[in-house]
Structure 1
Amino acid sequence: MYWDYCQRCDRQFNSESALDQHIRDSPRHNICRACDDDFEDRDDLEQHCEDYHDYCVNCRRFFDDDEDLQEHEISQHNMCVTCGKYFSSESNLRNHQLTHMKKNIECPGCQRYFVTYSAMLLHLETGTCDCGIGRERVTELAFECRQSQYYASSQDDFDFECPDCAVPFLYISGLFQHVQSEACDEDLGWHSPLRVFLRFLSGRV
């Protein structure tokens, strides 16, 4: 009789198909679908697939090339394309990506540089700028700007609201953070109300 033998499990089988069935079903055999290599445990198999094939461990899925895999990791698993770290949500990823951006927004009061307009405004509001301006003065200037009608809140408990979606904010820095997070369609184009305010602020600080 013809026998097939599994060396790893020290077992004999009466046919090649029985051996193949054993390899498919046994937890001691973990076959790579890309190259047919056999691994003793699932962790070794997944490490191999990740190292040698375009494979997503989370989805247990192979891709045609590196580019397709990277696109999948970014869109489905919130991967930072700059450093390869993963994040639990798109908003956490966006906040992290700020750490890779250049500080090119200048404070009109002290010439320090910031990554976002909201960070620069928060710097002014908290009174840490050398110019001595604080939250109260920043709010006053926001309402002195000729475009304030577009971002002044209609709610008594808030001073500001988004010109596009009307989400209310206590402070102008929070409004800018909302806009720069791409949570709505409002932008900071040259003629937008918030961009006009930035130019107005720059001339008053």
Structure 2
Amino acid sequence: TLFGKRSFSCSECGKSFSSQSNLKSHQRIHTGEKPFGCVLCGKAFAHKQSLSDHQRVHSGEKPFVCKVCGKCFGKAAHLKTHEIIHTGEKPFSCNVCGKSFNIAQNLARHQLTHTGEKEFRCSICQKSFTRAVTLKTHQLIHTGQKPYSCVSCGKAFRHAVNLKNHERIHTDQRPFSCDLCGKTFRQAVNLKIHKRIHTGEKPFSCKECGKSFSQQSSLISHGRTHSGEKPFGCNYCDKWFNNTNSLKLHQRVHTGERPYNCEYCGKCFSQGSHLRTHKRHVHGGGKQYICDKCGKRYADPRNLKLHKCCYA
């Protein structure tokens, strides 16, 4: 007993519990017993609570709500992990380099970079990965599977996050804004890269010539100018490219794809830069309210009305 309370010990590992039921639940770790099965998909669980959490996948129920931003989650643990975004707390530190992380899983993954350990290996090409989910994502390259499709244009993607980013092309949604110049972006990573324009930060340097870049992908593409490597081939012709963006833009010549739509006249373009140029020259940069006396343009009709007061 501990402080007068009865203690129940596991015969396998010696761990102690305050109740017989907690001990019984724990022992399923050793026996592998999973008595709680999902009636919808057949997946089995060692604990009743784990089954309850899983069933929300089918019901879509998300009862755990963030008090700061209102985002909902199916599991309390996921909410707890999310809340760290708002607090900025990074309680898990690497004992090798001191780098901190907001969740233990990210720390464990990071520590593999020091050991060089890569435990998940692709059975097709033998490439190794530090995460099972990264291996699973990689294997889609071999299968060619693209399970996520855009409802607007039918374009398919290997990853849900790529579909989500693509869909913003159709809506022109740019939720990430630079607090220094106001420029907006579809993806948080693009905002992060953009901010290096203001800071002048270029953390990626070429070992061949010393040239520095603000993003790693630019360094990798640049490195191919030294090696002459052009690994990205067009499926429609024999042209090859040293980066995926150039290949993607080129392939639109063959497919006729024009995913960038002008919200003022409906005209479509193959590149975002062409749409921006069109709006600037044809639609006055989106300023559609024009003074009939001097030709000055305004994006807001109220500003045009105030301007016209000058002539009154």
Query: Aligning the two structures, in what range does the TM-score lie when normalised by the shorter sequence?
Result: under 0.3
TM-score (norm 2): 0.17
TM-score (norm 1): 0.24
Rg larger in structure: 1
Bigger relative contact order (CA 8 A; separation at least 6): 1
